[in-house]
Amino acid sequence: MDKNEFRKFCLKKLKKSSLSSNKIYHDYLVNSKVEEVIKELSPKNILFFSSLKIEPNLQKLIKKYRSRIDIYLPFIEEKSFKMVKYRLPLKQDNFGVLSPSNSFFKQKDIDMIIVPVVGVDGNFKRVGFGKGMYDRFYEKLRKKPTVIFVQRQKCFTKELLCDWYDIPCDFYITP
Give the CATH superfamily of 3-173.
NagB/RpiA/CoA transferase-like (3.40.50.10420)
Q: Rounded to an integer, what distance in angstroms lies between the CA atom of residue 1 and that of residue 128?
A: 16
Cβ neighbour number for residue 16 with a 10 Å cutoff: 11
Q: Which of 125, 117, 123 is nearest to 152 (CA)?
A: 117
pLDDT in tens, the chain (175 residues): 899 999 999 999 999 888 878 899 999 999 999 999 999 999 999 999 988 889 999 999 999 999 999 999 887 776 667 777 876 666 776 666 666 666 666 667 899 999 999 999 999 999 998 888 888 889 888 899 999 999 999 999 999 999 999 999 999 999 9
Is residue 2 a contact partner of residue 119, using CB atoms and an 8 Å limit? no
Boundaries of every domain in the chain: 3-173
pTM of the predicted protein model: 0.90
How far apart (Å, rounded) are the C-alpha atoms in residues 104 and 112? Answer: 21
3-state secondary structure (DSSP) of residue 35:
helix
Task: Map 122-134 to HEC letters.
Answer: CCCEEECCCCCHH
